[in-house]
A and B are shown apart, each in its own frame.
Chain A
Amino acid sequence: SQTIHQWPATLVQPVGSPLSLECTVEGTSNPNLYWYRQAAGRGLQLLFYSVGIGQISSEVPQNLSASRPQDRQFILSSKKLLLSDSGFYLCAWSRTGNTGELFFGEGSRLTVL
């Protein structure tokens, strides 16, 4: 069976510090991978998606970046965090091809102070 894990679960960081959130998927090959953010009152916003190693598409201009160094690993990064980067970050995967059902990780709560 397929599983998805992301870490850390919670993170408190000062403004201007770097960020690295990691996500791995097991039990499947060549998944589509996604980073979403849930901010208060704004639902789930798609930040990045990837259809393969090294292939990253960004949905919104922002202070964050994503990388996919391995087939089942997806990383969300920032060089310098802003207060507005606070939120609940969710990694997700779907099967190869057109997006169907998304399978989400447990989420990472980021608080920037």
Chain B
Amino acid sequence: DQQVKQNSPSLSVQEGRISILNCDYTNSMFDYFLWYKKYPAEGPTFLISISSIKDKNEDGRFTVFLNKSAKHLSLHIVPSQPGDSAVYFCAAPGRGGADGLTFGKGTHLIIQP
């Protein structure tokens, strides 16, 4: 049973435009959510997070929106740059405690020149 779902395996966006990556979750008890960025043959790196008590968190070109009633969050990147081409993972706490994060399957973002 996948608790965090990313239903778009890939997304292609023109350079300079807005990229919107989506994530749905099933557990309304999650305290926070995170987005990770991953380049090929490298480990994922933390990008941005949001607490469940907020509906928006912004960091430079990256903004995460949380819609708790819809159990949905999205990552907006504006403007999109070539270096943003990567796989993006949405994540949430596993069962709580120290048992790691549960990740979505990822969305491969491709920024076209």
Contacts and interface: CB of A to CB of B under 8 A. Distances in A.
Contacts of A101: 34, 46, 49
Interface of A: 32, 34, 36, 41-44, 46, 49, 51, 57, 59, 88, 90, 92, 94, 97-99, 101-107, 109
Interface residues on B, range: 20 to 34
B101 A102 contact: yes
Dominant secondary structure at the B interface: loop
A43 B41 contact: no
A46 B89 CA distance: 14
Contacts of B41: 88, 107, 109
Dominant secondary structure at the A interface: strand
A46 B102 contact: yes
A42 B96 CA distance: 22
Given A90-B43, A104-B43, A99 B103 contact: no
A41 B98 contact: no
